[in-house]
């Protein structure tokens, strides 16, 4: 089995319908990842054990999603030297603004790279870019992906003009 390079974690299994898009993006690039539920409030020690061992277990990036009082990404960032990408998960109330502010307002010294509310796909793509910075094969695939994005827009533009 391939050692996971990215951890995709969330505060509750109820976050998975949003967070699965991060896994799909990693799948598209053939990046091995692991998935798990680690609640900052309900399983704090388990969360700290995960964050504290992540680098030694071979992970390079952690994508962490949570909703409401979304403390998971920040607490994980406090307990690992790895880059952490935070995904604000929107809940039924407050449209995810609470999740966004909980994740993005980190104190100096403990960064979390926060994506848009519900932006798990971009979190997965950002994790790929972090890896691609030192992995030429992955960088080539990211360049091809960006060219495809551009082609899609140009095709739509051409269709509009017909
Ligand atoms: C957060 O509380 C989780 O990340 C989730 O977004 C939210 C609600 O969790 P559940 O009550 O659905 O388990 O910690």
Is 73 a pocket residue for ligand 1 (Cβ < 6 Å)? Answer: no
Find the DSSP H helices in the chain.
Answer: 16-28, 44-54, 72-78, 97-104, 120-132, 136-161
Is 39 a pocket residue for ligand 1 (Cβ < 6 Å)? Answer: yes
Is 12 a pocket residue for ligand 1 (Cβ < 6 Å)? Answer: yes
DSSP one-letter string for 8-30: EEESSGGGHHHHHHHHHHHHHTT
Instruction: Note whether 67 and 89 are within 8 A (CB).
Output: yes
Q: What is the pLDDT of residues 14-55, one digit of tens each?
A: 999 999 999 999 999 999 999 999 999 999 999 999 999 999
CA 159 to chain CA centroid, Å, is: 34
Distance of CA 141 from the midpoint of ligand 1 (Å): 34
Q: Binding-site residues for substrate, please?
A: 12, 15, 42
ipTM comes to 0.97
Tell me the whole-structure pTM to 2 decimals.
Answer: 0.97
- For the chain, domain boundaries: 6-135
Strand-pair partners of 85: 63, 113
Strand-pair partners of 83: none
CATH architecture of the domain covering 6-135: 3-Layer(aba) Sandwich (3.40)
Q: What is the pLDDT of residues 91-136, one digit of tens each?
A: 999 999 999 999 999 999 999 999 999 999 999 999 999 999 999 9
**Mutation probe of ligand 1 site: the residue of 15, 16, 63, 94 with most atoms within 8 A of C-beta:** 15
Residue 103: partners with Cβ closer than 8 Å, 6 or more residues away: 66, 70, 73, 74, 86, 87, 88, 112, 114
Is 103 a pocket residue for ligand 1 (Cβ < 6 Å)? Answer: no
Query: Nearest-CA neighbor of 11 among 79, 86, 107, 92?
Result: 86
């Amino acid at each position: 089995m391939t050692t996971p390079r990215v951890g995709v974690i969330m505060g509750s299994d109820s976050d998975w319908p949003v967070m699965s898009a991060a896994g799909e993006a990693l799948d598209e690039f053939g990046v091995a990842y692991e998935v798990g539920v680690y609640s900052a409030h309900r399983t704090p020690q388990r969360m700290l054990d995960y964050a504290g061992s992540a680098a030694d277990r071979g992970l390079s990036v952690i994508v962490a999603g949570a909703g409401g009082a979304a403390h998971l990404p920040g607490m994980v960032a406090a307990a690992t030297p790895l880059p952490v990408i935070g995904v604000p998960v929107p809940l039924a109330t407050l449209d995810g603004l609470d999740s966004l502010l909980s994740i993005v307002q980190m104190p100096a010294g403990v960064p979390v790279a926060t994506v848009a509310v519900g932006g798990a796909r971009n979190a997965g793509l950002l994790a790929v870019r972090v890896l691609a910075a030192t992995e030429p094969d992955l960088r080539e695939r990211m360049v091809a992906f960006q060219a495809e994005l551009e082609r899609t827009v140009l095709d739509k533009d051409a269709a509009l003009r017909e």
